[in-house]
Amino acid sequence: MTWLEFSGHNITRRMYAFYSALLLASLLRVTVGAKWCYESQVSCDHKCKGPNEWADIAPTCGGTSQSPINLVTKKITFKKSLTALEFYSYQETFHSVITNNGHTAKVNLSGAAQINGGELESNYKAMEIHFHWGKNGSPGSEHTIDGEQYPMEMHIVHIKEMYRSVEEALTDPSGVAVLGFLFQETGSSNKKYESIINALANIAHPGNSTTLQSLSLDLLIPSHSMLTSYFRYKGSLTTPGCTESVIWTVFEDAILLSKEQLSAFSALQFEDGAPMVGTFRPVQPLNGREVFYSRCNVVFVNTMLVVSAVLTTFMTLKA
Ligand SMILES: *[C@@H]1O[C@H](CO)[C@@H](O)[C@H](O)[C@H]1NC(C)=O
Ligand SMILES: *[C@@H]1O[C@H](CO)[C@@H](O)[C@H](O)[C@H]1NC(C)=O
Ligand SMILES: [Zn+2]
């Protein structure tokens, strides 16, 4: 072999190594770099990973304690110790910022408002509010009750008092407590939601944010006396990385908004300019987890049974 032949061979080998490295890098970019998105954003050209593929980006999304879930009222376990939550500083007004982060509208909170009670291990402080919705008021909640999907769901994300950030709290299997509120459509508009709904017009594009003056958490949730009926289970974040560190509390009493108010959320846009709609993850398998319910009342009993029981009692009394 002459020197020339040898070096030519060497160059070919080097080029081969270079091109395979390039090929590998581009393959990695496709799998690692692909962004997550909702089912409503998935198109044939597969630019983003829909919920069925989230586990490719964040393996925990394929875990066994995932959220959201369908809450089956016939299979829940009544638990007396799930007493009413205690809300601290929920009545205090604050200034905050509402942001379109490309996946939802989120409101930052300072951690001043806190919750405890209802079997929570410690005080948990409120760090963030965000929403999940359908399209112009069509089904869009994450949790469902007996298979029924509500038009919207609000999450108030709390972390144990000792942690500084949601990221830090996620390292603790019970570090995060999310309160989930379902919405229902009603005929008249809900004045309490006007400031948030008016703000949506200013945050149409991802990255936009605007200030919210004088909001309080109490303004956004039903009165505390309506919040004694709730579902409780152990689950996860409903977006990648789907970390299984969340104590879920989903309240039965729904918040009422008009169709116009619900539709206002659909005016936001995703990164590609498409309407931000269908921002929910489909329900996940329960995998043997137990779902607890805070009250042993008649809410879920068939109305006919109640009527006949009342009639029977009445007739027995008369006889
Ligand atoms: C929200 O964030 C903004 C700046 O990003 C800050 O000025 C404001 O005080 C924050 N609000 C709360 C309630 O933490
Ligand atoms: C919202 O974001 C878009 C796109 O980034 C930008 O062009 C626009 O100026 C922003 N609007 C406001 C009010 O910040
Ligand atoms: Zn959420």
Is 39 contained in some domain? Answer: no
What is the per-residue pLDDT for 107? 98
What is the per-residue pLDDT for 29? 44
Is 313 contained in some domain? Answer: no
Is 25 contained in some domain? Answer: no
What is the per-residue pLDDT for 160? 98
Decide if 130 contacts 100 (C-beta within 8 A): no
78, 53, 63, 56: which is closest to 235 by C-alpha?
63
Give me the percent of the chain exceeding a pLDDT of 70.
82
Ligand 1 centroid – CA 97 distance (Å)? 6
Minimum-distance ligand to the CA of 126? 1
117: left (phi over 0), alpha (psi -120 to 50) or beta: left
The H or E element spanning position 311 is helix 303-318
Tokens of 172: 């603790």
pLDDT in tens, 210-253: 999 889 999 999 999 999 999 999 999 999 999 999 999 999 99
Number of domains in the chain: 1
Is 230 contained in some domain? Answer: yes
pLDDT band at 172 (very low <50, low <70, confident <90, very high): very high
What is the per-residue pLDDT for 315? 55
CATH number, domain containing residue 172: 3.10.200.10
CB burial of residue 307 (10 Å; 0-12, 13-18, 19+): exposed
pLDDT band at 135 (very low <50, low <70, confident <90, very high): very high
What one-letter code names the amino acid at 35?
K
What is the per-residue pLDDT for 19? 53
pLDDT in tens, 64-75: 999 999 999 999
Describe the strand order of the beta sheet including 70-71 as a list of residue ranges. Answer: 70-71, 144-145, 148-149
Give the pTM: 0.85
What is the per-residue pLDDT for 43? 86
Tokens of 268: 């936001």
Is 15 contained in some domain? Answer: no
What is the spatial distance between Cα 129 and Cα 188, in angstroms, rounded to a whole number?
24
Is 27 contained in some domain? Answer: no
What is the spatial distance between Cα 255 and Cα 152, in angstroms, rounded to a whole number?
9
Minimum-distance ligand to the CA of 239? 3
Bond prior to 241 in cis (omega within 30° of 0) = yes
What is the per-residue pLDDT for 47? 82
Ligand 1 centroid – CA 96 distance (Å)? 5
Ligand 3 centroid – CA 314 distance (Å)? 47
Handedness of CA 265, 267, 271, 277 (dihedral sign): positive
pLDDT at 190 over 80: yes
Half-sphere exposure for 103 (CA within 13 Å, toward CB): 14
Residue entry with tokens 């996860």: 236
Cβ of 109 less than 6 Å from ligand 1:
yes
Is 183 contained in some domain? Answer: yes
**What are the DSSP calls for 78-116, one per residue?**
E-TT--PPEEESTT--EEEEEEE-SS-EEEE--S-SEEE
Nearest CA to ligand 1 atom 11: 96
pLDDT in tens, 31-54: 445 799 999 999 877 689 999 999
Its domain, for residue 130, covers: 67-297
What is the per-residue pLDDT for 8? 45
Minimum-distance ligand to the CA of 179? 3
Cβ of 208 less than 6 Å from ligand 2:
yes
pLDDT in tens, 241-276: 999 999 999 999 999 999 999 999 999 999 999 999
Which residue numbers are catalytic?
Answer: 103
Mean pLDDT estimate for the chain: 88
Cβ of 192 less than 6 Å from ligand 2:
no
Ligand 2 centroid – CA 208 distance (Å)? 6
Is 53 contained in some domain? Answer: no
pLDDT at 208 over 80: yes
What is the per-residue pLDDT for 1? 41
